[in-house]
Amino acid sequence: MSLEGKLALITGSGRGIGRAIALKLASQGADIIVDFFRHRESAEQTARDIEALGVKAEVIRANVGDPAKVDELFDMIGNKFGHLDILINNAASGVGRPLVDIDVKAWEWTMDINVRASLLCAQRAAKLMVDRGGKIVGISSLGSRFVLPNYTVVGVSKAALEALTRYLAIELAPQGICVNAIAASAVETEALKFYFKEGLVKDTRQATPAGRMVMPEDVANVVAFLCSEEAFMIRGQIIVIDGGTSIGVLALAGKGEQKE
C-alpha cells in the first residue's frame, strides 16, 4: 500500500488516535495536514515526527466545531495545495454526564464537533477531490450502538456520524470518493484517561477476547487500509475494531459455554 504523493488532512491529529493515523499515513508516503484545536505543542511534535519520515507536514489550528474555522481551514488548503486526497474526520469532543444532566450547551458542543464538522469537512473536501477521487474516513465508537456510562451525547453523535458515513458514501461515489468509518472500543489514549475512571482500562482489557486494549495504532492500521486502493469496493461501512468485545459478551460471562 503506497500513499506516495497523496495529501491527507487528519482533523484533531496532535494527539491520540489522530496522531497515530497521521504517522501511519505519513509512513506510507502521504503528506499530512495536522489540524489541532487545544494542544499546539503536541501538534508541532506530531509534525516533526511526520517530517522525520521524509514527507511534508503542515500544522493548522482550527476548531472544526466552528463552521467559520472549517471554511478557513479549507480555504488555506485550497489556496496552498489546490487539492486533497484523504480526509480523516477524527476530531471529537464530548461531555460525559448522566443523561438527565445533558443541557443544550453540552449537546450542541458535542454534535457540532463530532457530526456537523464531519459533514462540513466532507463537503469542502469533496470539492478539493474533484476529478481525482479521494478517501474519507470517520472515527466512530462502539458507543454508537452500545450503552456506556455517561456517554449518551457522544454515543448519539457517533450514531449520527455512522449514518452520515452511509449517505456520504452513496452521494460521493460518482465522484470516485470512498467513504467509510471505523468504530473502536475504548482506545488507550490521554483522552480516555481524561474522560473515564481508572477502572475502565482494566475492565475493558478483561472484556476483550483479544486480551489487550485497542491501541491508536490498531485504528491507524485499519484507517490506512480504508485509504488504500485495495479497499476501493468497501463503501459506507463501519469497521469495528474492538478485539472481539462486542460479540464476545456471553462467552466472557461464561454463559456461552456448551454443556459437556
Partner 1 sequence: MTIEEQVKDILARITRVDKSIITRESTFKEIKADSLDVVQALVAVEETFGIEIPDEEAQKFENFGDFVSYVENKVGQGQKV
Q: Rule CB under 8 A: choose which of 1, 5, 38, 171 binds partner 1.
A: 38
Number of neighbouring beta carbons within 10 Å of residue 1: 11
**CA–CA separation, 217 and 224 (whole Å):** 10
State in angstroms the smallest separation of the CB of 159 from partner 1.
21
Q: Of 36-44, 141-149, 197-205, 242-250, which part binds partner 1 (CB under 8 A)?
A: 36-44
State in angstroms the smallest separation of the CB of 105 from partner 1.
7
Q: Rule CB under 8 A: choose which of 27, 29, 39, 215 binds partner 1.
A: 39
State in angstroms the smallest separation of the CB of 44 from partner 1.
10
Work out whether 166 is an interface residue with partner 1 (CB under 8 A): no
As a whole number of Å, the CA-based R_g of the chain is: 18
Q: Rule CB under 8 A: choose which of 2, 5, 40, 167 binds partner 1.
A: 40
**Which residue is it, cell 491520540?**
16
151 annotated active-site: yes
Work out whether 106 is an interface residue with partner 1 (CB under 8 A): yes
Task: Please give the size of the binding site for partner 1, defined by CB under 8 A.
Answer: 10
Is the CB of residue 209 less than 8 Å from the CB of residue 244?
yes
User: Is 111 strand, coil or helix?
Assistant: helix
Is the CB of residue 142 less than 8 Å from the CB of residue 161?
no
Roughly what angle, to the nearest 10 degrees, separates helices 40-51 and 16-27? 20
Between residues 157 and 180, which has the closer beta carbon with respect to partner 1?
Answer: 157
167 annotated active-site: no
**CA–CA separation, 230 and 1 (whole Å):** 8
**CA–CA separation, 133 and 126 (whole Å):** 8
Q: Of 34-42, 70-78, 213-221, 251-259, which part binds partner 1 (CB under 8 A)?
A: 34-42
User: Is 246 strand, coil or helix?
Assistant: helix
Q: Rule CB under 8 A: choose which of 63, 157, 180, 245 binds partner 1.
A: 63
Binding site for partner 1 (CB under 8 A): 38-41, 61, 63, 95, 105-106, 109
- Which residues are marked as active site? 151, 158
